[in-house]
Structure 1
Amino acid sequence: MGDVVKALLPWEDPAGFLGGLPAGIDAQYYAGGERPALDSVEFYVPGYMGSSEVIEVVGEMPALKVIQTQTAGYENLLPHLREGVTLCNARGVHDASTAELAVGLILASYRRLPRAVKNQERGEWPSEYQELDDSLADRTVLILGYGSIGEALERRLDGFECEIVRVARRARDGVHAIAELPELLPRADVVVLLTPATAETRGMVDGKFLAQLKDGALLVNVARGVVVDTDALLAELKTERIRAAVDVTDPEPLPAGHPLWSAPNILINPHRGGASTAFSPRVARLVRAQLERYATGQPLINVVAGPPR
């Protein structure tokens, strides 16, 4: 590491965005398009939800030592990670935004807010409804993939008078192991998916998984689209036995005419989990702290692949 660290950042005014660059950092801008000189770049922050071009450019940085994502997910970068490069994710940055959206999707589905929007567009005030809306009170919410976002979700659900069941890959105090799902799923009124996209979780929510849900259960996916078998979900939705509210889909973007768009009992949000005003200040604090750590030789946080630094 030289006296000055070359960083490649996705903001045109990185110093302004970060509230000043740490000492020893020389930053340049890249978010796609014309590329600056890349030979001496040691620290790279790809653009949020960056294109394939923004990701593949890591292969043109021979001096690269660190990639710091702005997302919690990082599976799209792993194929481009060469030996000796450290990959750090944005664990914690999206906790507030994603947890808020998960609560919003539950409430919107339970209180049938999409129906209210359609009525408003038509200028209709129905004289009565045939059924009561569902309440989150007295329900059981199973959080699958209980990490920092799961903790943030539970804090926000506190006060809604619902029971929380926590599930993670391994059991720990107060958290069930994923192997216990066959016993836990039939109890759940709401299942919130927060798992990362890995070889183990891809297609995990399949026909067998969905069949274990009780009639009327709500599946909320704020994780990754590939965690859910789309064909299996469609088959269940068409029977109107369960409901779904999703921020992510497989495929994504969901193409026009895809049967998910017209399936009954589903609310689709176009992958906006992290896109809130809570994002920018949190990612700025993380990136600035990581740059300062790297420039001063302190250990980096959120290392998910490659050597620790």
Structure 2
Amino acid sequence: MTPKISVSLPDAGLREYLAPHPDVTVLEWDLAGGAPQRRIDIVVPPYMGGTKILRNLESVETELVQSQSIGYDGVADVLPAGRVFANAAGVHETSTAELVLAMVLASQREFPRLLENQQQGLWETKPTASLADRRVLIVGYGGVGKAIEERLLPFETTVTRVASQSRTDGNGVVHGIAELPALLPDHDIVIVGVPLSDATRHLIDDAFLSAMPDGGLLVNVARGPVADTEALVRHTGSGRIRAALDVTDPEPLPRDHPLWRTPGVIITPHVGGASSAMRPRMGRLLQRQIDLMLAGEPPVNVVLGG
């Protein structure tokens, strides 16, 4: 017999991507206030709602908590015991890689200066740096890192990959993170997309930035605390390196923070995955989880519990 299951969504936005099913009840609950019922088989928390809100699951029986984010740092500290938690791998990689490419091109081709010139009606034909022929280091070679690599290679770049441990795949060597000190000086652009953990907190520190070549570009699409903000301020403020940051520490970045006004720094407000591609892909992942539960099969993307 097919089980009857209930699914809660944080808002109505994902409903249109779910196929109606007589054995599936879809509710709306943003985890604020009391739960609509004592048991909800699949709970989808709000996107970018923080981890503390997961404590509100204490009073609800669940089979699966389906996140809308890839990262899950801090979740284990607040998720009630015995819960199964899945991340949104497969949802955000494309959009994040697109943003990385846009930020790299904007920095290399000096779009902030060109847009300021446009506002002033200034026609300035100053040459800019290319992306072609640049040596690019990708630090964090998971789904996002691979998506970034796929988009960089057609731009005639040389890409070096770094993961937590060294290995070899069909495209050659993936270096271990312990090799970073030797790799950083030889790369013009460094893109960081590692998960936040005790091992990666302040990975981008004074030594990391000092090892980058003059004029180098740092791109951070990981988490804000992966970088030491004070070190970032010093190195970008001196003009020695540039930065493109989709994440900061703290976040949101205060209005009076010096990074906002530092020449050569581009900041976007943690919107790597926030594109029109997100909801359809999140809807497909959620529909897959529903179908698996109806079939009595285990969920995908489980990162905690299970």
TM-score (norm 1): 0.92
Aligned equivalent of 1:274: 273
2:129 matched to which residue of 1? 134
Deviation string 1:197-244 (CA, Å, 9 cap, x unpaired) is 111111111001111111111000111111000000111011111110
The 1:111–1:87 alpha-carbon spacing in structure 2 relative to 1, beyond 3 Å, is same
Cα shift at 1:68: 0.7
Secondary structure of 2:155's counterpart equals coil
8 A contact 1:197–1:224 mirrored in 2: yes
Aligned: 1:82 with 2:69: no
Deviates more, 1:48-57 or 1:142-151: 48-57
What SS does the corresponding residue of 1:137 show, helix, strand or coil? coil
Unmatched segments (≥5 aa) in structure 2: none
Aligned to 2:100: 102
Aligned 8 A contact 1:58 1:80 in 2? no
Which residue of structure 2 lines up, in the alignment, with residue 235 of structure 1?
A: 234
Q: Give the counterpart letter for 1:103 in structure 2.
A: L
The 3-state SS of whatever aligns with 2:202 is coil
- Give structure 1 stretches of 5+ with no counterpart: none
The one-character-per-residue Cα deviations of 1:251-270 (angstroms, maximum 9, x if unpaired) are 00011101111123201111
| Residues 22 and 202 of structure 1: CA distance in aligned 2, closer, same or farther (over 3 Å) | farther
Is residue 2:221 matched to residue 1:222?
Answer: yes
Determine the structure 1 residue equivalent to 2:4: 4
* Contact 1:32–1:53 under 8 Å retained in 2: no
- Match in the other structure for 1:156: 151
Pair 1:170-2:169 in alignment: no
> Where do residues 1-309 of structure 1 align in structure 2 (5 Å cutoff)?
3-12=3-12, 14-18=14-18, 20-22=19-21, 24-31=23-30, 33=32, 35-51=34-50, 54-61=53-60, 63-126=61-124, 128-129=125-126, 132-173=127-168, 174-307=173-306
Change (3 A) 1:107 1:157: same
CA pair 15-269 structure 1, distance change in 2 beyond 3 A? closer
TM-superposition CA deviations, 1:46-83 (whole Å, max 9, x none): 1111256743322231x122111111011242222222
Question: d(CA) in 2 for partners of 1:285 and 1:49?
Answer: 19
Deviation at residue 11 of structure 1 after TM alignment:
3.1
Q: CA contact under 8 A between 2:51 and 2:75: conserved in structure 1?
A: no
Q: Please, which moves more after superposition, 45-54 or 285-294?
A: 45-54
How does the TM-score come out when normalised to structure 2? 0.93
Choose 290-299 or 173-182, whichever is displaced more.
290-299
Stretches (4+) displaced over 4 A:
32-36, 51-54
The amino acid that maps onto 1:86 is V
Deviation string, structure 1 residues 27-60 (Cα, Å, up to 9, x no partner): 2002355544241112111111125674332223
Question: In structure 2, how many angstroms separate the alpha carbons of the residues matched to 1:276 and 1:115?
Answer: 25
Indicate conservation of the 8 Å contact 1:11/1:17, yes or no.
no
**Structure 2 letter corresponding to 1:299:** P
Work out the CA distance in 1 between the residues paired with 2:301 and 2:20.
20
User: Deviation of residue 294 (structure 1)?
Assistant: 2.0
Which amino acid counterpart does residue 230 of structure 2 have in structure 1? D
User: Structure 2 vs 1, CA of residues 30 and 9 (structure 1 numbering), >3 Å: closer, same or farther?
Assistant: same
* In 1, Cα distance between equivalents of 2:13 and 2:89: 24
- Percent identical: 42
Q: Distance in 2 between matches of 1:285 and 1:45?
A: 13
SS in 1 for 2:167: coil
Could you tell me how far apart the structure 1 residues matched to 2:277 and 2:13 are? 19
- Farther-moved stretch of structure 1 (26-35 vs 151-160): 26-35
In 1, the alpha carbon distance for the partners of 2:128 and 2:275 equals 28
Q: Give the superposition deviation at 1:295.
A: 2.6
Residue 102 (structure 1) shift: 0.5
The letter for the 1-side match of 2:162 is: V
**Shift in Å at residue 184 of structure 1?**
0.7
Shift of 1:196: 0.8
CA contact (8 A) 1:105 1:245 kept: yes
Q: Over residues 148-189 of structure 1, what are the superposed CA-to-partner deviations in whole Å (9 max), with x where a residue is unaligned? A: 111111111122111000000011112111011111111111
| Distance in 2 (alpha carbons) for counterparts of 1:184 and 1:171 | 13
| Cα pair distance change 1:59/1:151, threshold 3 Å | same
